[in-house]
Chain A
Amino acid sequence: MVEVHNILKYAEKSGAQEAEILTDHTRFTYARFESGEPQQTLVGDITEYAVRVRVDHALGFAYFTDNWQSAVKKALSLAEKGYQHESCPSFVTATPPTPLHLSDPSIGAVTLDVLISDLTDGTALIDDPRILAHTGSAHVAHSTAEIASTSGAHQVESSTLASARMACRAYETDYGIGAAHVHSLAYDIDIEGVCEKAQHDALAQLGKEPPHPGKKQVILSPRVCANLLVCAAVPSFLGHNVEEGRSALTCGDTVAAHHLQLTETPLTHGPQGRSFDDEGMPSQSVELISDGTVDAFLYDRYYGQSTGSGIRYGQYRGRTLKEPPLPCATSLFLRGSSSPLEEMISSVDDGLMVIDETNSHASKSQSGLFSIAVTSGFEIKKGEITGPVNRCMISGLAFEDFLPNVTCISTERELHRSFVYPTYVDTGYVLVDGLRITA
């Protein structure tokens, strides 16, 4: 691993007026199972680098895994030919973040043999003859992110992650699919519980009947609620979309039920936590929706400066180190009027409970228009779940049909990671009045 200060010195010597280097060193172990046997294993120890350099008022960016001198020169070449942004901000100076202690020692003791043994034990519990196939994986990783700049910033944060997922495919007269996931900083994940839940959920979907179309009360599972928030609502809160005409929101707009609060909470001891962002700025909580109205947006140094407000919120790189940093939510927390899930179900006279969906990722981020297919769900009649539903669709606008009509959030909460963006969401089941169902 190349020492970051060597890269910074080289960049300055080669003509950069300022330079910033971000590295991520990750060691991981992964095992994938199919129908109770190991199918793939992967071990890795990799280091990635992203460098930004400033020449006059232009920035150059390069991502690399080797040959760092060549990458720095390419970044400099791009900056030298680049557009001169008068508002191009300096890189962050030394600002100590709040330590979060995101590295758990239990991860270091987990070998591939342990993962294989635990997955073998877990998948042995998937024993119902109606399960045709099951696939799943477990993964442990230890990462160290380090950011340094010629402006004096130097921050290092280590974190660990253990995760497991399982999907089951059941068949009787039709198919039923069940899936379960878990994430933790420590190797305290319940792999057996994940396997049992995936089997249970797949079997519960056998014998589906089509629901009646029309506007109904809908209970969205935490996973579905998280997907809709991340794909249909949150893009309108990202600073680059706000500043560049791709978000219709302004502070003070009413976009949700009056009891709802949506907060970006990176200062959390969990997989969603991080003490500084990918520009080296210390993380901070940001209330995006407060009492149903837009309270703030997420900015980076560039877009935050362009607001002229002088207020800079948390900013995060997008998916990977391969792109320059852009505003991004990493850790959302939804809260509001709450009640136990059982009471929520009993309050529904004629509606649906949606456990899983497809196509939230195709939501139109600029308008919040979503149109999802229910892949797993139940019909609710007179306060009771009556049976699984056949394929149907739910559509609407995030800020007109979904968030303003949320009447309560369950006290049972879950943490979900979006499969599209690097964003975790902590939420409960949500009850929404009057969503349009096609069947």
Chain B
Amino acid sequence: MTIIDTAVEEGVDYADLRHDRKTVYKLLRKNGIPITHGVQVDAGFCLRVLVDGAWGSGIATRERDLPSLLTSVIKAARCQKRIHKIRVKEAPAETVAYDRRASIQVMNEDNSDFLKSLEDCAHDQSHRLSSTTLLLQGIERSMEIETSEGRQVTSRIDRTSLRINLFCREGSTIETRTRTWGGIGGMEYIAAHEHDITQETAQLAREAHILVDADHSPSAIMDCVLSHTLTGTLIHEAFGHAVEADSVISNESILAGKIGEKVAEECITMIDDPTAPLFGHYLYDHEGIKGHRTPVVKDGILTSYLHSRETAAHLDCPPTGHCKAEFYSNLPIVRQGNTILVPGDHADEELMEITHGLFLGDSAGGQVNVAEGTFTFGTQFTREIRDGELGRYLKGCSLSGNILETMKNVQAVGKSTIDIAAGCGKGQMDLQGRSMPQIRLQKVMIGGRGS
């Protein structure tokens, strides 16, 4: 008899047990030294019960602790005495499995040589290179979920990523450029993109070199073109978080109650598709629900939120399979999977048709306040645009704005897209994918140090 059978005998409305195991291998090269970084083996259990319309949840690292944990979580749920009862959407009783593991592992000698060749390539571009960090990471995530519906889901997905940080220094001025590449599977992803990664590493080194002498970005409100990665940050942070239905049902999202309304310019169509073969790929979420390709905004009209079992029941919608947890030790919450902005019909040079503006380069992170509908993002660098031409490099800055106003200020969406390996920290870290074009935005508030 499993712990879920025992939970059902105890009279719970719903229960699930997630046995989660994550192994992370890291190969690190810093400043010419191949540091074999280490390995993380993170394994444990997350048990959830729904009793009298209230959740009780607990975590344990040892299977033998589960019976006492069940007693604790049932007690925790019963003591809440909620007035508004929580319900969950049920899923079919079936046994399903998915396996997408690496063909080539991260930990081998050839990969150390590859990191050295990238570092050499960066040094060839700049005598100012003062610090290099190259981190190759392989993640194996295995998960078994058993629910009181009789549903059993087994999933194993491997991911590989490479992150490069390059620093250039002259006197007391230090500037940096950073980029991450990543995909599902193992080193075969990196191998398939080796040429592009090498070219882009050289470009990162050249840009870090130039930024040392660059002036600061201005403090101004102006028209801008956002790079692919910055567009990804904008769509993910400003829009994606606001359509996560947990913030909708708690009345904390600026997009609550706006299904069917125009929330962006007609050129904006956004989809979240965890089944796409991008970095955030999965077939089953961490509640055992099948992930669905979910159109979120179509031609500027809000069409759907992203759901967990609970939010789908609350809003009486089909579950979309967007509930995920970082480790066994985290409760699953509503997250984006692979965020896709459908490309438009503007070539890159057409996007630059601005008399006086800025090109905002790669993203340097961002933050959104979905309750107020505002966002702030950093850029690693900017470039002037004058009469439709890209001009000199400027040091990084931040941009800020209101979600709804900004999405109505999108003038054009580019044709070319790139795939992005990204992470998101909504209280817990999640690996996500993005497919993004560049966009042109009017009236962006730029907080640079220059005048």
Contact = CB atoms under 8 A, between A and B. Distances in A.
Interface string B37-61: 1111111100000000011111111
The 7 closest A-B pairs by CB, nearest first: A393-B447, A362-B378, A61-B38, A245-B130, A371-B398, A245-B131, A359-B376
Interface in A205-234: 213
Interface stretch (B5-13, B80-88, B299-307): B80-88
Interface residues of A, number: 75
B174 A248 contact: yes
Contact of B174 (A82, A133, A366): A366
Contacts of B55: 39-41
A218 to B, nearest CB: 13
A5 interface: no
Contact of A322 (B42, B44, B79, B365): B42
A127 B37 CA distance: 52
18 contacts: A42-B59, A44-B58, A44-B329, A62-B41, A63-B41, A66-B62, A79-B36, A83-B34, A116-B80, A133-B251, A245-B131, A246-B131, A248-B173, A359-B366, A373-B374, A391-B374, A438-B445, A439-B445
Contacts of B395: 367, 369
Nearest to B252: A133
B41 A83 contact: no
A167 B247 CA distance: 13
Interface stretch (A332-340, A395-403, A421-429): A395-403
Interface of A: 34-35, 37-47, 58, 60-67, 70-71, 74-75, 78-79, 81-83, 85, 112-113, 116, 132-133, 135, 167, 169, 175, 177, 213, 244-248, 322-324, 358-359, 361-364, 366-367, 369, 371-373, 375, 391, 393-397, 401, 436-439
A364 B65 contact: no
Contacts of B65: 45
Given A133-B371, A364-B364, A373-B398, A66 B448 contact: no
B176 interface: yes
Contacts of B175: 366-367
Nearest to A362: B378
* Most chain A beta-carbon neighbours within 10 Å: one of B59, B220, B371: B371
Interface in B55-107: 55-62, 65, 69, 72-73, 75-77, 79-80, 82-84, 86
Interface residues of B, number: 82
B31 interface: yes
B54 A38 contact: yes
Given A38-B80, A112-B76, A65 B398 contact: no
B61 A46 contact: yes
Nearest to B363: A362
B41 A71 contact: yes
Interface of B: 24, 30-31, 33-44, 54-62, 65, 69, 72-73, 75-77, 79-80, 82-84, 86, 130-131, 167, 169, 171-176, 216, 219-221, 250-252, 329, 331, 364-369, 371-378, 395-398, 400-402, 445-449
A245 B41 contact: no
A47 B44 CA distance: 10
A322 B30 CA distance: 19
Contacts of B37: 61, 324
B30 A65 contact: no
B252 A373 contact: no
* Most chain A beta-carbon neighbours within 10 Å: one of B75, B366, B369, B373: B369
Contact of A44 (B38, B59, B174): B59
Contacts of B39: 61-63, 71, 74-75, 78
B367 A358 contact: yes
Contacts of B77: 41
A31 to B, nearest CB: 9
B131 A359 contact: no
Nearest to A67: B41
B116 to A, nearest CB: 12
A244 B30 contact: yes
A395 B449 contact: yes
B219 A213 contact: yes
Contact of B331 (A42, A78, A113, A213): A42
Given A41-B80, A44-B329, A371-B378, A175 B33 contact: no
Given A45-B65, A65-B42, A135 B60 contact: no
B412 to A, nearest CB: 25
Given A46-B61, A438-B446, A373 B376 contact: yes
A47 B42 CA distance: 11
B83 A37 contact: yes
A245 B133 CA distance: 11
A369 B54 contact: no
Contacts of A75: 38-39
Contacts of B38: 60-63, 75, 78, 323-324
A258 B56 CA distance: 54
A21 to B, nearest CB: 14
Given A40-B57, A71-B41, A362 B62 contact: no
A135 B220 CA distance: 35
A93 B398 CA distance: 47
B372 A375 contact: yes
Contacts of B34: 83
Contact of B31 (A42, A62, A244): A244
A47 B397 contact: no
B80 A65 contact: no
Contacts of A397: 449
Contacts of B35: 82-83
* Most chain A beta-carbon neighbours within 10 Å: one of B73, B169, B250: B250
* Most chain B beta-carbon neighbours within 10 Å: one of A394, A438, A439: A438
Given A177-B369, A375-B374, A35 B42 contact: no
Contact of A391 (B41, B73, B400): B400
Nearest to A366: B174
Contact of B176 (A83, A132, A364): A364
B449 A175 contact: no
B378 A177 contact: no
B36 A83 contact: yes
Given A366-B175, A371-B397, 16 more contacts: A41-B57, A42-B57, A43-B72, A44-B59, A46-B329, A58-B36, A78-B39, A175-B372, A177-B371, A248-B174, A362-B377, A375-B372, A391-B400, A393-B400, A397-B449, A438-B448
B398 A246 contact: no
Contacts of B372: 169, 175, 177, 375
A67 B21 CA distance: 12
Given A213-B219, A371-B448, A42 B58 contact: yes
